[in-house]
Amino acid sequence: MDLGFTPEEESFRHEVRTWLKANLPAAWRQDGKGGYRDEEDTQLQRDWQRKLYEGGWLKLGWPKDVGGRGATPVMQAIYQEEMARSGAPGILGRLGVTLLAPTLLAHGTAWQKEAYVERILSGELIFCQGFSEPDAGSDLAGLRARAERRDGKWVLNGQKTWSSGAHYSDKSFLLARTDAGAEPHRGIGFFLVDMHQPGVEVRRIKQMTGGGEFGEIFLSGAEVEERDLVGQPGDGWKIAMTVFGFERGGLAQAARFEQAVNELAALARERGAGTDATTRQKIAQARIEAHVFRLIGLRNLTRAQHGHAPGPEASVTKLYWSEMDKRLQEAAVGVEGMYGALTPDSAYAIEDGRWQYGWMWAQAETIYAGSSEIQRNIIAERVLGLPRGR
Ligand SMILES: Cc1cc2nc3c(=O)[nH]c(=O)nc-3n(C[C@H](O)[C@H](O)[C@H](O)COP(=O)(O)OP(=O)(O)OC[C@H]3O[C@@H](n4cnc5c(N)ncnc54)[C@H](O)[C@@H]3O)c2cc1C
């Protein structure tokens, strides 16, 4: 495992920091709050995406022949880490930029690449992900939304749920069944669906955080042009697997955790909880866990740098950070004592309710991108070689 960075990598880090200093306005820096807390953040996230796009950062790891910079996995991790350290906001088109654009490069037609890729990166087109359904989450292959070919178009019917950002998205990359008679993993198509059409209705889902960043998507006769089917009508599952391959954590999260632990320690000192043995133990544990997570990130990075694709051990990373964050947020709410029970929007909430908000948000982290139980199944079967559960 490589624990250090080369002089070239350090000079790249300097380049990122210099750019951030010149381009990230102080008022845009996030104060540790997670998720998409403020509705007005959507404009900020749109503007920030535009700046990153114009700065050439959104194609950092892409090959040079498609206009990228061909940055190594280590450089990409440095970039992510510096973004996290600077408190840079998220980008509005995150799902399109990180999941769909690279998937289109791998599976899209020349027309799809031409029509979508640059517009996704620039933020002109915002995409949401329409995979999950009320009865198909972990068992995604059980999805039931249907797509039928009629008069040279695909006509979609069914329901999607938990679609992040559906209410402000222009389009969705969505899975629907193209062949009801085929085996569950076959007969699924991967469609690019226009969200601004009569056959698409979005209903926002209110969460316990008070926000409403997810939507249910109701498809009733929604139309998709043939050119907006990615791959063949039965290729959807294979393409979805490419999408999942782009969902991963890394040094950026390690940097965020380290920062959060420091902030938690400061909170404990301020609240006079720093002398309590249990609290001290929890904070020490959080610091150790954040450090272990950094080492896991460096190990993954070393593998990536040597050309190995992330294997089932990616599940260890996902399981580790999501469970660790839950413990960290819980420790923080505990440090707040009675104040920890206030809702984040209460006028009496400490630090603008960020820790209560973080605690609530952390409950979702062990569900999305593969729940903890699913990750444990993968680790048991594919890493430890244990027999398959029933
Ligand atoms: C913050 C967040 C953002 C999301 N964004 C999107 C999005 O943009 N687009 C989208 O399509 N979806 C999105 N989702 C949905 C997400 O993909 C699903 O919630 C996830 O796949 C789990 O599915 P489910 O909610 O249907 O739970 P289920 O699959 O019904 O699981 C319920 C419980 O059973 C457990 N379980 C299920 N199967 C097994 C098994 N085989 N062995 C052991 N335990 C099992 C699970 O771990 C869980 O505890 C998002 C979810 C969250 C929380």
Specify the pLDDT at position 35.
45
Rounded-to-integer distance, Cα 123 and Cα 102, Å: 15
Residue among 124, 247, 263, 330 flagged as catalytic: 247
Rounded-to-integer distance, Cα 245 and Cα 224, Å: 26
Length, in residues, of the chain: 390
User: What is the phi/psi pair of residue 125, to 5°?
Assistant: -120, 125
Residues 178-206 as b or e (16 or more Cβ within 10 Å = b): beeeeeeebbbbbbbbebeeebbebeeee
**Does ligand 1 have an atom closer than 6 angstroms to the CB of 373?**
yes
Per-residue DSSP letter, 339: G
Rounded-to-integer distance, Cα 28 and Cα 25, Å: 5
Q: How far is the CA of 138 from the centre of ligand 1 (A)?
A: 5
**Does ligand 1 have an atom closer than 6 angstroms to the CB of 253?**
no
Reported as type and span, the H/E element at residue 148 is strand 146-150
Closest Cα to atom 43 of ligand 1: 373
Q: Decide if 127-236 and 248-383 have a common fold.
A: no
CA 135, chain centre distance (Å)? 22
User: At which residue do the structure tokens 């991108």 appear?
Assistant: 369
Closest Cα to atom 48 of ligand 1: 371
- Closest atom of ligand 1 relative to the 160 alpha carbon: 11
Per the annotation, the verdict on 247 as an active-site residue is yes
The token pair at 214 is 């997810």
First-last CA distance in the chain: 36
The DSSP bridge pattern shows strands 229-230 and 171-177 to be unpaired
Q: How far is the CA of 249 from the centre of ligand 1 (A)?
A: 18
Per-residue DSSP letter, 92: T
Q: How far is the CA of 239 from the centre of ligand 1 (A)?
A: 19
Q: How far is the CA of 311 from the centre of ligand 1 (A)?
A: 21
Rounded-to-integer distance, Cα 249 and Cα 112, Å: 28
- Closest atom of ligand 1 relative to the 134 alpha carbon: 26
Specify the pLDDT at position 4.
80
Specify the pLDDT at position 49.
96
Closest Cα to atom 21 of ligand 1: 137
Rounded-to-integer distance, Cα 342 and Cα 323, Å: 23
Strand partners, 133: 136
Reported as type and span, the H/E element at residue 10 is helix 7-23
Specify the pLDDT at position 36.
45
Residue range 151-177, pLDDT digits in tens:
999 999 999 999 999 999 999 999 999
Q: Which residues of the chain have pLDDT under 50?
A: 34-36
Closest Cα to atom 1 of ligand 1: 364
Q: Which CATH number fits domain 127-236: 2.40.110.10, 3.40.50.1100, 3.30.365.10, 2.40.50.1020?
A: 2.40.110.10
Distinct helix (H) and strand (E) counts, the chain: 13, 8
| Residue 334 burial (CB count, 10 A) | 17
CATH number of 7-92: 1.10.540.10
Q: Which residue, 126, 386, 358, is CA-closest to 260?
A: 358
Query: In the chain, where do the E strands start and end?
Result: 127-130, 146-150, 153-164, 171-177, 188-194, 200-205, 214-225, 229-230
**Does ligand 1 have an atom closer than 6 angstroms to the CB of 367?**
yes
What pTM was estimated for this model as a whole?
Answer: 0.91
**Does ligand 1 have an atom closer than 6 angstroms to the CB of 138?**
yes
**Does ligand 1 have an atom closer than 6 angstroms to the CB of 169?**
no
Specify the pLDDT at position 39.
55
Q: How far is the CA of 369 from the centre of ligand 1 (A)?
A: 8
**Does ligand 1 have an atom closer than 6 angstroms to the CB of 380?**
no
Q: Which one of 319, 371, 376 would you pick to mutate in the ligand 1 pocket, going by the greatest count of ligand atoms within 8 A of its CB? A: 371
Specify the pLDDT at position 37.
53
Q: Which residue ranges make up each domain of the chain? A: 7-92, 127-236, 248-383
**Does ligand 1 have an atom closer than 6 angstroms to the CB of 6?**
no
Q: Is 34 helix (H, G, I), strand (E, B) or coil?
A: coil
Residue range 52-78, pLDDT digits in tens:
999 999 999 888 888 889 998 889 889
Specify the pLDDT at position 300.
83
Strand partners, 17: none
Q: Is 28 helix (H, G, I), strand (E, B) or coil?
A: helix
CATH number of 248-383: 1.20.140.10
The DSSP annotation for 175-187 comes to EEES-TTS-TTSS
Query: In 152-198, where do the E strands start and end?
Result: 153-164, 171-177, 188-194
Residue 139's region, left for phi above 0, alpha for psi from -120 to 50, else beta, is: beta
Q: Which amino acid is at 311?
A: G
Closest Cα to atom 52 of ligand 1: 368
Specify the pLDDT at position 233.
95
